[in-house]
Structure formats: C-alpha cells, structure tokens
Chain A
Amino acid sequence: MSAQYTVLKRFGRFAKSRRLQLSAAIISVSVFVILWHVFAWLLRCWDWSLQEYVPFPVDVFTVLVDSFVNEVPGMDLSMGVMAFASFKRVVIGFTLALVVAFPLGLLMASFRFVNYLGDPIIEMFRPIPPVAWIPVFLVMLSFFWGPVAIVFLGAFFPILLNVMFGVKRTDQTLIDAAKTLGARRIDIFTKVVIPSTAPYLMTGVKVGLGISWMCIVAAEMLPVLGGGVGNALWVSAMEFSRFDVTFACMIVIGLMSILTTGLAEQVERRLYRWMGME
C-alpha cells in the first residue's frame, strides 16, 4: 500500500468523520464571499468613493493566483517566496517564545520570589504593542532577528501567562496524594504539576500562534530580506492603494495561520492521548 494511498484514505476517513464540520465551513465561507460580493457591488451602485477600497472577491482571487504564478504587483517576488519568508519568521519567533516562556512560566509560578522578581518587568512590557519596538530593533537587530523579535514578543506573553495560570490551577488533592505517597518536591513538580499544566500550555500555544501571525505585518515593517506577506500587505495598502493585493495577502496570512493552528491542534491531540487524558 503506497503512502499516498494511505494519506488519501486517511483524508477520506477524516472528511467522513467531519462531514458536518466541513459542510458548515463550506456554507459559511460561501455566504461570506457572496455577502462580500454583494457589498462591493452595492458600493458601486451607490457610486461611493469607498468602492475603490473594496475589490470584488473574484478580482482578489485573480490577483492571488497571479501573484503565486508570477509576482506580487510592484514587489518583484512571488507570493510563494514571500509566504515562505513570513512562515519562517513566525515559526522561529514563536518557537523561541515557547522555549523561553514555558520554563520561565513554570519557574515564576512555582517560586514566589521568582514571581516577585519577574512580575513588575513582565507586567510593564506586556501591554506594549510589538510595533513600538520597530525603531529599536531596526538598529539593534539585523534583517533577520529584528522581525523575529517582533513575533517573539507577540507570542511570548500569552504562553507565559497561560503556563503560570496552569501551574496555579494544579489540583491540590493530586499534590497532597503524591505527598502522602512519599513524592519529593521534584517528583511533584515533574509528575504532577507539569502534566496538569499541559492543557493551559496548549491554549497559550494556540493563542500565541494567532498573535504571531497578527504580528507579521508589524514585523515586516522592519527591513527584511526576501520579502514577506506582511510587507506586501502593508505596502500594497499604504503605498500602492492596490487593495486587491492587500486582500490577497490577508487571505494568505489567514490560511497560513489556519495551517499552524491546525498543526498545533494535532500536537495537542497526540499529547493528550500520550498522557492518557482522552
């Protein structure tokens, strides 16, 4: 049995098991596109000046396909190259945030003194939008790490806070039970606290991924090498007024976000199964 066949069969099974979900998605997306088309059409009927800012879905789709086949208008790079460049930035920025925020969250939630140390700094920087760091990162960090740092900042705080919350929500009876069985502090931490944090961590991961993609436009306001979808979105809207391109970029970013969140959900499911939580 070939691997491709297995994949197809698995997809078939997936489609069957999710029939309701898939049909609902198809319905809502179609209704959305139709409403969008009607809205754009009405604007033109009333001859509002706003009409030029709302392209027809079919025009956006045409530009989307064309920008993959040829290049994004005015940017001399194809959408595929740009999407890959943005994907790389988000994945690296997010992974770094996860690697730093998870242990830090565990530490801060477990040791009161570490919490007291970290809290003022974290609470001060948390509400600062990553875009505010652009001038600093432009000079301090280079083409690659500047944008990655913006994504990092976006993903860092939701992961950290969710992990801290998860640790604090650990069921006290489980800890007590472990204690009566003679567990040491380290055992309680690794065998009770960390596993019970997992659902909260995964919530943080999913929220963090969404915010990472939200930050890609801000990240690519910094000079980048190899372009980026966020950059194309910003430039097409603010400089070129090519809103067909802008909406096409929104679709690409949205699809990539769906892809990464879907991956995170797969990981989550496997994690829970492995931990026997299902």
Chain B
Amino acid sequence: MEKKTTLLISIVIAAAVVVATAGVALYLTPDDDDSVKYVVVSPTLMGGWLQGGDGSAYIAWEPFVSSATVGGYGTVLSWSNEIMPNHPCCVVVLSNEFASTTEGSELSLRFLKAHVESTEWILDALADKDSVEYQLLVNMSVAFTLRDADVVENALEHVKFGWEMDTEFRSALDQFTDMYIDAGIVEEETVGDRGYGNVTDFISSYVNGTYLDELGSVTESPAILNPDDPIRLGYLAGDIHQLAQYVAANGSVVGGTMSVFEKYGLNVVAATGAPYANGGSEMDAFVAGHVDIGYLGAPPAILKKLNVDADTTIIAQVNSEGSAIVIATGSQISSLADLSGKIVATPGESSIQHLLLKIALNEQGLKLVKA
C-alpha cells in the first residue's frame, strides 16, 4: 500500500514537472524584437476583434477595410498597392473537363466575353460618379454584398477591376508559389510530381491567356445556346471583387430585358453550393465536378492545383489590389516598423493578404511569426 502511494505521488510530481517545464518553456520563449506575431481571424470578424483590443492591426480585403474606416474605428496604415503594385487578387478559373469539348470551349469563350464586357461597364460606371450607371453599380454592390452604400462606395475606389493577365501578374503568382514552398505549405517535390519543371513552368502552363486573345471573334447570339445545359458558375458570398458576374447576370445593365450573359447566348446558373464561403471550398467543388467556371482568389487556385491536382486553368483576372493593413484609430502605430512585437490578424496563412504582409515586413527587416 505504501509503495503504491509513493508511486502515485511520484507520477503526479513527474506530470506536474513536465507540465510546468513545458509551460515555462512556452511562456519564456524569447520575444524576438524583429518579429510581428500573427493570428488568423475571419475577415468578417476582424473589425470586432480589433475593437476588442486583443491585437494592433489586421490585413484584409475590401470591404473589410472600408467597413472599419467608415465605421470610424479603423485607419489604413498601408494600402496593398504600396506593398506590391497591381498585385493579383481574384481570377476566373475554368474546369478543364468542361472546356474539353468544342461546345464547352465555345461557351467558355463567350462567358469570358461577358466577363470582360461587364468589367468594362463597371470601369465606365466608376469613371463618372454622377452617372446613372454609377448609382446602379452602387445599388447592385449593396444588394450583392449586403453592406451600406457608403462602405461599398469607399470599397469600390480601392478595388482595381480588370481582366488582362500580363507578365507582372504571372511573376506575382510565381512569387506567391515560391512563398508557399518556402513556408512548407506546398512540398517542393509536388511541383515536379505534377509534371512541371519548375515554378515558372507551372504558372505559365496554369495561366492560359488564349481565351482572352480570341475574344475578338465572339459575336452576340440571337438565341440561348445551352438552354438545357447551363454553365454552372462558382463565386464567393458577397465578395465585392466578383461584381462582374453579378453585373453580367443582371438584366438592367445592358438597358433591355436581356442580361450580358443572355446577350452572348449563355444560360448561367449558380453551381451547387454557390455562393461559397471561401475559395478553398469552391476549388473542392471544382474537383467534385459541381463547377464549370468560377471566380475566386488566386491562392486557393494555385494551392488546389498543386496539392490536390485540381484539373483547372486560370483564364482571366477579375481584380487586383484592394487590400490594406488597418490599425485602430488613435493607435500609436505610424509605420510598419512600429508593428514590431505586436499582434496582427490575417485571413490565413495561404491568403494573398498574409503573403503581402510578409513581404512588407521583410522589407522592414521584420519577420512574421505565429503568435
């Protein structure tokens, strides 16, 4: 009996020692002076989190920047175009299986035409803020994002809509992919396993500009070409970047009863599960065969292509820029260097915002580490 008690006590003491040392080791990890700590917070909750006072800043995309500045509790420390001009954001992704038939490839081309025309309409509307079109755009943005008009108007100013995919776009995707490999999110061997010589090789084969080059050949169609077999469109819930598809589906834009999609003979429906909560689940829906064409961020498109071999191609840009580092209004922080030792929220390790923050901090000689 006595032996048993001694044993029990020694086990308890041993456990306590293990717990205590591990705890002490965890808490006494030296605070690097040259590091910024990050936590992951969903962008919808970042505003409340910043006001709660647990952290000093967050990086997010519009409208989560304008909701803070218009709401009066946040101030922009740095816009993302100051970190990387024209940085990619959302893209149009095409299912290779859908495009493999002549009909599918024709429909994809027509879809892209509608995307470009709607984006042009958005750009025209934004150019003249007194126009009827601008008011219509704001109304549509409010309806799509479910946010106040002043937040939406502010956000629209900082999003750069466009479809072209230039060398700057490709090299940015190169850089993002390299950063994923550095972080261990993508294993270096995966690039070779998927049949690419290197990262540049991967991006140049993943980004396919031929559809954009052929847009000149697309003409309006008097009838719907795919009445029984609609294009299943994937997009994200209330993402202001992805307005083009909302504009294209909206009859009032071209002034008649027809939407831009209908003008080009397209029957387009929301894919099963759309709108998606994030790009990752949209890519999973691509893999599951639910989506033909989708709007989503470039990072999940890259990650799913490499990590789960999603059979897709990037065929156009949707927007660039439009993210920012936001600090609490009245905070002592006035430069990126001031973030040293502070806690910053990002939307996730694989997000463009996370990568941009990392790039910006590296330029200041600071590291971004997990809090």
Q: Do A and B bind each other?
A: yes
In the complex formed, the residue of A with least CB distance to B286 is: A49
In the assembled complex, A57 has its CB within 8 A of some CB on chain B: no
Contact for B303 among A73, A134, A241, CB less than 8 A? A241
Contact B10 A3 (CB under 8 A): yes
A76-B311 Cα distance, complex, nearest whole Å: 30
Contact B22 A84 (CB under 8 A): yes
A71-B184 Cα distance, complex, nearest whole Å: 9
A241-B54 Cα distance, complex, nearest whole Å: 29
In the assembled complex, A138 has its CB within 8 A of some CB on chain B: yes
In the assembled complex, A8 has its CB within 8 A of some CB on chain B: no
Contact for B307 among A85, A142, A223, A241, CB less than 8 A? A241
Query: Interface 1/0s, chain B 284-306, versus A by CB < 8 A?
Result: 00011100000000001001100
Contact B350 A138 (CB under 8 A): no
Contact B280 A49 (CB under 8 A): no
In the assembled complex, A252 has its CB within 8 A of some CB on chain B: no
A-B contact pairs, 10 of them (CB 8 A): A49-B309, A52-B308, A53-B287, A76-B183, A81-B26, A138-B49, A142-B52, A143-B39, A223-B40, A241-B307
Contact A139 B308 (CB under 8 A): no
Within the complex, the shortest CB–CB distance from B218 to chain A, in Å, comes to 30
Query: Interface 1/0s, chain B 266-282, versus A by CB < 8 A?
Result: 00000000000010110
Contacts of B48 in A (CB 8 A): 135, 138-139
Within the complex, the shortest CB–CB distance from B328 to chain A, in Å, comes to 14
Interface residues on A, range: 35 or more
In the complex formed, the residue of B with least CB distance to A231 is: B40
Contact A223 B54 (CB under 8 A): yes
Within the complex, the shortest CB–CB distance from B264 to chain A, in Å, comes to 30
Contacts of B55 in A (CB 8 A): 223
User: B residues engaging A (CB < 8 A)?
Assistant: 3, 7, 10, 22-23, 26, 39-41, 45, 48-49, 51-52, 54-55, 180, 183-185, 187, 278, 280-281, 283, 287-289, 300, 303-304, 307-311, 345, 348-350, 369-371
A71-B348 Cα distance, complex, nearest whole Å: 18
User: A residues engaging B (CB < 8 A)?
Assistant: 3, 6-7, 49-50, 52-53, 71, 73-77, 81, 84-85, 88, 134-135, 138-140, 142-143, 223-227, 231, 235, 238-243
Contact A240 B349 (CB under 8 A): yes
Contact A139 B370 (CB under 8 A): no
A143-B185 Cα distance, complex, nearest whole Å: 25
Contact B41 A75 (CB under 8 A): no
Contact for B304 among A134, A140, A241, CB less than 8 A? A241
Contacts of A239 in B (CB 8 A): 280, 300, 303, 348-350
Given A73-B184, A143-B54, A223-B345, A240 and B370 contact (CB-CB distance below 8 Å): no
A50-B40 Cα distance, complex, nearest whole Å: 28
In the complex formed, the residue of B with least CB distance to A146 is: B54
In the complex formed, the residue of A with least CB distance to B44 is: A135
Contact B184 A74 (CB under 8 A): yes
Within the complex, the shortest CB–CB distance from B353 to chain A, in Å, comes to 13
Within the complex, the shortest CB–CB distance from B256 to chain A, in Å, comes to 41
